[in-house]
Amino acid sequence: MLLISEQNGRKKEDLNGKLVSQTRLTIAVRYLSPLRKIIAMGYGKHNKRSAFNMAVADAMRYAIEGMYPDLTVNPQKVRLTRGGVLHPLNPAAVRIGDKLTVTFDPGFDKLYGFGDDEVILCAYNPDVGVAGINEERCRRQDGALELQLPVQLADAAVTVYLFARDRSGKRFSNSVFLGVL
C-alpha cells in the first residue's frame, strides 16, 4: 500500500505556532491601544472595534518582526490610518526641546487631495503609552506644522506619524512614519 497521509496527533511545532501568534497579537495590541482614537477615525467606514481589529491585523502581518521570543514592532511599518487621500509629500520632522516641527510640500493632486485637506501630526511613546495629535488645524497648503509635546513626552523619545484627512473629515491618507525623535 502507498501511504499518502498519516496522522500522528498534535505536533510540538503546532503549539509553538499558536504561542508565536498569541505573542504577536499581544505585542500588536499593546503597541496600538493608546492610538485607538486615531485608528477609529483613520480606518474608514468601519465601526471602532473592526477598525482596531484591522489595524492589529495589519500590524501583525507587516510590522511585527524578529524570531520568537525576540519579537519587536517596526514602527516604520505600522499603519495608523488607511485610505486613498494623498499623504503630505516630502515630509521632514525636527525636534527642538519639547516642540516638533514638520514641513512638507504644500502641493497636491486634484484627484486625491486638496489644499484645504487637514494635516495631522501624531507623537507617540509606546513605552509610556501616551500619544497626542496637534490641536490647531493645519491645512495641506500651509506646508508646515508645529506640535508642543505634553509634559509626559517632553523628555522622552517620540515616534512621529503624519497623515491627511479630507475636508469632509471622512477620508484619510495612509499614515507616514517620520522617525523616532
The residue count of the chain comes to: 181
pTM over 0.85: yes
pLDDT confidence of residue 27? 97
Q: Name the residue with higher pLDDT: 105 or 1.
A: 105
pLDDT tens for each residue of 112-129: 888 999 999 999 999 999
Does residue 108 contact residue 116 with C-beta atoms inside 8 Å?
no
Dihedral of the alpha carbons of 108, 114, 117, 119, in degrees to the nearest 10: 0
pLDDT tens for each residue of 9-45: 545 445 477 888 999 999 999 999 999 999 999 987 7
Please report, rounded to a whole number, the percentage of residues in the chain having pLDDT higher than 70: 90
User: What DSSP designation does 22 have?
Assistant: H
The per-residue pLDDT of the chain, averaged, comes to 89
pLDDT tens for each residue of 57-84: 999 999 999 988 899 999 999 999 999 9
In this prediction, residues 135-145 reach a mean pLDDT of 94
For the chain, what is the radius of gyration of the CA atoms? 20
pLDDT confidence of residue 112? 84
pLDDT confidence of residue 168? 87
Beta-carbon count within 10 A of 106 CB: 15
pLDDT band at 140 (very low <50, low <70, confident <90, very high): very high
Does residue 123 contact residue 131 with C-beta atoms inside 8 Å?
yes
pLDDT confidence of residue 48? 77
| Burial bucket for residue 46 (CB in 10 Å: 0-12, 13-18, 19+) | middle
